[in-house]
A and B are shown apart, each in its own frame.
Chain A
Amino acid sequence: MIRFALALSFLAAPAMAGGLKVESPMVPLAPPGVMAHAAYFTLTNTGDTPRQLIGVSADGYMMAHIHMTEVKDDIATMSSVDVLEIAPGQSVAFERGGLHVMLMRPSAALEDGGTVALTLQFANGEAFPVEAKVMPMMGAKHSHGS
């Protein structure tokens, strides 16, 4: 029930501006003391020109990077993504085991129900604010469509 309610609240108010839409921004609660955790969301280019996401910053963190997890032959590797091109009409999912925002060196511990203020930076100079909700990690039951 709680999850359902959260889903509704996300649906009700996607962040939208300048041909961009961000849905379901979230930061899973992380173990105490860890120096890095992740933020996830879905980013859609609702405009009619291609957009390039070139960086992310996060309040309360020393650094934030766009990262991609790849698992190949049983080896998990993370790599930085310098430019993420999003075509008009395209949605890009930042999700477990794929693209994610890596948040490094938090200044404070995460609290359930709190928020993390992210700013997405685009090549055209636009800075797009996103407020990600801190919530317990969703179990595996959610994520296995494939």
Chain B
Amino acid sequence: MKQIAALAFALLSTPVTAQVQGVMLDEPVELPAFAFTNELGEDFTQADLDGNWTIVMFGFLSCPDVCPFTLGNLEAAVAETGMRVRPDSVPKVAFISVDPDRDAGYISEYAKFFHPEFESFTGTREQINTLVEATDSFYRILDPDHTGYYEVQHSSSVSVIAPDGTLRAKLQPPFDPGMTAEFLARLQIQYRRELTQ
């Protein structure tokens, strides 16, 4: 229900000709405590959301097409956003692998490849499920084939979290840099307006 309402809202509030790059949620969603880590011992917890905009993406490293495409586009979109907002409002990007069994050993290198400041983490199944659920995201690990190889299904959209730690919006493919930046800038204006009300 939440998704449907949010989508309807976005459709009403944007011109029909504009490609929808994101959906602003009707109400901010509080996130539960979470903790992810990587093989360098860096961590990503709820505290990292404080005071800055964050984009969280779920994926997995054996993902040859969608995940690199999304991160490559996010890199361009974040660069564009940097031209529209104050430096301290440029979103941080965190990639969370939902496939720790295969990815935990070298997860930290992944997101950095797309931008030196992008970070990547994974965690326990429980932590992954907690944040996936809280952000209305989705993943499913499919049954392995005869070689033991398995596919992973996952949400194609990514979550936008405000400096107060609440989920505010979802970005959707194709993550066009200009339009995504425009969407993020508008989202930030709306957020600041709410704060001053």
CB-nearest residue of chain A to B63: A36
CB-nearest residue of chain A to B64: A38
CB-nearest residue of chain A to B62: A36
Of A30, A35, A75, A79, the residue contacting B68 (CB under 8 A) is A30
Give A37 to B69 CA distance when docked, in angstroms.
Answer: 11
Give A34 to B55 CA distance when docked, in angstroms.
Answer: 22
**Inter-chain contact B113/A31, CB cutoff 8 Å:** yes
**Inter-chain contact B113/A76, CB cutoff 8 Å:** no
Given A37-B68, A67-B64, A100-B65, A75-B153 contact (CB < 8 Å): yes
Chain B contributes a number of interface residues (CB within 8 A of A) equal to: 35
Given A28-B68, A31-B109, A96-B69, A77-B177 contact (CB < 8 Å): no
Most B CB within 10 A of own CB, among A37, A79, A96, A103: A96
8 Å CB interface, B77-121 against A: 77, 102, 106, 109-110, 112-114
Chain A contributes a number of interface residues (CB within 8 A of B) equal to: 32
Say yes or no for B61: interface residue by CB 8 A criterion: yes
Of A71, A75, A104, A140, the residue contacting B73 (CB under 8 A) is A140
Give A71 to B156 CA distance when docked, in angstroms.
Answer: 7
**Inter-chain contact A144/B65, CB cutoff 8 Å:** no
Say yes or no for A143: interface residue by CB 8 A criterion: yes
* A31 / chain B contacts, CB cutoff of 8 Å: 61, 68, 109-110, 112-114
Of B64, B153, B154, B177, the residue contacting A102 (CB under 8 A) is B64
**Inter-chain contact A76/B175, CB cutoff 8 Å:** no
Given A31-B113, A74-B157, A75-B155, A140-B65 contact (CB < 8 Å): no
CB-nearest residue of chain A to B153: A77
Of A30, A37, A74, the residue contacting B172 (CB under 8 A) is A74
Say yes or no for B176: interface residue by CB 8 A criterion: yes
B interface residue numbers (CB < 8 A to A) = 19, 61-66, 68-69, 72-73, 75-77, 102, 106, 109-110, 112-114, 138, 149, 151, 153-157, 172-177
| 23 A–B contacts from the bound complex (CB under 8 Å) | A28-B72, A30-B68, A31-B61, A31-B114, A32-B109, A35-B61, A35-B102, A36-B64, A37-B64, A37-B68, A69-B65, A75-B138, A75-B155, A76-B66, A76-B154, A76-B155, A77-B151, A97-B69, A100-B64, A102-B65, A104-B149, A139-B72, A139-B75
